[in-house]
Structure 1
């Protein structure tokens, strides 16, 4: 039998679970001080690879919006890109620092998440908000996001390391060649 799909059935099933988890976590958001909305997307990138993390981020963003529409005034596809990159950038940076699946060092995970979150949450999202809703929002949105990511990114890194170490020993997350 010839294999035509880039992703195995197992990986697609895991992706569906990460998407469902991302939707649930996004829907349960309480306040803006601490949210874990991007965490399942980031974890999926480490578990399944940057391509799957990118896909999972995009799909999660669309479905989470359908389940819980944003209070910012409506759906805009530019934010799909930020969610998709949230799943890809951290693991790409970690790999660029020399770590390979499944052995990721905590400090490299944190650096990857910081780079990813500052690219998407601190720069891209405020930039898109300023374009869509008014240029005066860019700097205040950036400052607020930077403060939030200064404690969220290291926390996400620690959680990724703990949860990923548990998952990698119990589940065959990625197909290895």
Structure 2
């Protein structure tokens, strides 16, 4: 892996940790984090879009592991690390395979909304219910309300990055 690529991915890991662990609203339910509202996955999506699905997956997993180490809430659960990796992998796969790396509003929105929707509305509530017995009703309502706003904000930020730094479209630094 080239030094420049490693530096960019490291910055995206730090961005993800800061936005997830320190700049999100975290609501504890039954002693564990039940709902987190914020744009913490933005760094994962940026890694997936700019560098591809494998790098998005790595940024997701490492961000979750290092973020937990810096700011734990409840016990460490590997399942949530896999969800973070899933976000990066699926986002990158949608962008690369489905949209052939074409930068437009639709490709960016789908690459963010699909993994966010699946993770936030299905996988994470299922895990919290299975692992901790949290009722779905308590988790789903705030997630349903927040998800469209979070996705719209993340898409707007990616669009702003593309407008402010158009060279980022070709930033896929060779491995």
Alignment TM-score, normalising by the size of structure 1 = 0.82
Q: 2:41 aligned with 1:38, yes or no?
A: yes
Counterpart for residue 81 of structure 1: 82
Q: Is the 8 A contact 2:9 2:59 kept in 1?
A: yes
Counterpart for residue 146 of structure 1: 144
Matched length: 166
Structure 1 position 37, deviation (Å): 1.0
Q: 2:116 aligned with 1:156, yes or no?
A: no
Q: Is the 8 A contact 1:22 1:41 kept in 2?
A: yes
| Gap change, CA 1:98 and 1:41, over 3 Å in 2 | closer
Structure 1 position 164, deviation (Å): 3.8
Counterpart for residue 52 of structure 2: 49
Q: Describe the superposition over 1:86-141 as per-residue Cα deviations: whole angstroms up to 9, x where unpaired.
A: 222223223343232xx41112211221111011121111110001111x523432
Q: Is the 8 A contact 2:57 2:85 kept in 1?
A: yes
Alignment TM-score, normalising by the size of structure 2 = 0.83
Counterpart for residue 4 of structure 1: none
Aligned-partner SS, 1:85 = helix
Q: Describe the superposition over 1:8-62 as per-residue Cα deviations: whole angstroms up to 9, x where unpaired.
A: 2221121111111212222322435841211111111112111101000000001
Structure 1 position 149, deviation (Å): 0.9
Counterpart for residue 110 of structure 1: 109
48-57 vs 139-148, which deviates more? 139-148
What is the RMSD computed on CA atoms of the aligned residues? 2.3
158-167 vs 39-48, which deviates more? 158-167
Q: Is the 8 A contact 1:110 1:153 kept in 2?
A: yes
Q: 2:4 aligned with 1:10, yes or no?
A: yes
Give unpaired runs (5+ residues) of structure 1.
Answer: 1-6
Counterpart for residue 31 of structure 2: none
Counterpart for residue 24 of structure 1: 18
